Amino acid sequence: MASVLAVTNQKGGVGKTTTAVNLSACLAESGQRVLLIDLDPQGNATTGCGVVKRAALPTVYQVLIGRSTVADTRLASDFGFDVLPANRELAGAEIDLIEMELREYRLRDALVDVAGEYDFILLDCPPALNMLTVNGLVAADTVMIPMQCEYYALEGLTDLVATLKKVRANLNRRLEIEGLLRTMFDPRSTLTQQVSRDLEGHFGDKVYRTIIPRNVRLAEAPSYGKPVIAFDRSSKGAQAYLLLAQEILDRRAGKQGVGKKAAPGGGGQP
C-alpha cells in the first residue's frame, strides 16, 4: 500500500517542485515504486521530468472532476517513476469542484485503485492553501515541508501548521508532518544559520538532517526535462537528494543515526 506524501508550503518558490521531482527520481532509483502527481496548474513537475503534455491527453484535472482515472491518465517518465501530469487547465478545477459533492476527497478517492501498485505517491502542491492543496492534504498520509531558512519562513510555517491542524481535525485524521526540509541552503549567511537553529529548536527530529544546498545544477536540470541525478549526478544537489531519499527510507525502517554521512559536499549539517 502506497505511502502518500504531500510536498507542500503555501509560500512560492521554496523548492517544492524541485524536491518532488528529484525525490521521486531518487526513490525510484533505490527500487521504490513511485507515482508523482502534479497538483499545480503551473505544471512544473510535469515538464521537470520530461513528460510532454499533449493537448488531447487527460491530466489530473480530468481525474479530479471524474472524467478519467489515474490508471488511464498516468504516464511513464524516463526515470523509473510514473507521473500524473498537470497543465493550466487545472486552474479551472477550483471552480468546477465547488459544485461537486465531497470535493475535498476527490483525489483521495481517485487514488484507491492504484495505491497497491506503488510504494510512494508524491504530491507536488501549488503555492496556495486552495482546494487543490486541500485535496492533496486529504489524500496524504504525511506532509513534507520544504523551506528556505529566511526570516519570513517561520511566520509562514505557523500558518501552515495551523492549516494542517484544521485538516487533521475535520478531514483527515491520519495526517502527520513527515518532515521539514531546508532548501536552497547557503551556509555563509548568518541569518540562515540562525533560522536553521530555530527550526531545529521548534521542530526537533521533524527537521531532516539532510540539507539541500543552493546548487545551480538543480535549477538547470528542469530545462532539460531531467531530474538532477540524470543530469549531473556528481553535483552537490544530486548528492543531497540521494541522501534525502536514503534518510526517508532509513527513518521509515526505524533505523538510528540517520544522515550522519550528510556533511561532505554541502548536503549535510550547516
What is the rounded distance in angstroms from the CA atom of residue 194 to the CA atom of residue 141? 31
Task: Quote the cell numbers at residue 3.
Answer: 505511502
Minimal distance, residue 77 CB to ligand ATP, in Å: 17
Contacting residue, 4, 6, 16, 181, with ligand ATP by CB under 6 A: 16
Nearest distance from C-beta of residue 197 to ligand ATP, angstroms = 20
Among 2, 5, 8, 18, binds ligand ATP (CB under 6 A): 18
Residue 14's binding partner among Mg ion, ligand ATP, none (Cβ under 5 to 8 angstroms by kind) is ligand ATP
- Determine, following the binding rule CB under 6 A, whether residue 263 of this chain makes contact with ligand ATP: no
DSSP symbols for 196-260: HHHHHHHHGGGB-S---B--HHHHHGGGGT--HHHH-TTSHHHHHHHHHHHHHHHHHTT-SSTTG
Site mask for ligand ATP (CB under 6 A), range 201-220, x = bound: -----------x-xx--xx-
Q: Shortest Cβ contact with Mg ion: which residue?
A: 17
Instruction: Measure the CA–CA gap between 161 and 202, rounded to whole angstroms.
Output: 12
Nearer to Mg ion, 64 or 258 (CB): 64
Among 17, 135, 148, 239, binds Mg ion (CB under 5 A): 17
43 contacts ligand ATP (rule: CB under 6 A): no
Interior/surface letters 124-154, b for 16+ CB within 10 angstroms, e for the rest: bbbbebbbbbbbbbbbbbebbbbbbbbeebe
Q: Does 16 bind Mg ion (CB under 5 A)?
A: yes
Take residue 227 and report the three cell numbers written for it.
531530474
Nearest approach, Cβ of 183 to ligand ATP (angstroms)? 5
Task: Tell me, residue by residue from 33 to 72, as one string, x for binding to Mg ion by CB under 5 A and - for no binding.
Answer: -----------x----------------------------
Using the rule CB under 6 A, which residue among 38, 40, 82, 247 binds ligand ATP?
Answer: 40
- In sequence order, which ranges of the chain are alpha helices (DSSP H)? 16-29, 44-48, 60-64, 70-73, 93-98, 106-111, 131-139, 151-170, 190-203, 216-220, 228-231, 236-252
How do strand 120-124 and strand 34-38 relate by DSSP bridges?
parallel
Residue type, 204: G
Which residues contact ligand ATP by CB under 6 A?
12-18, 40, 42, 44, 127, 183-184, 212, 214-215, 218-219, 222, 237
Which residues contact Mg ion by CB under 5 A?
16-17, 44
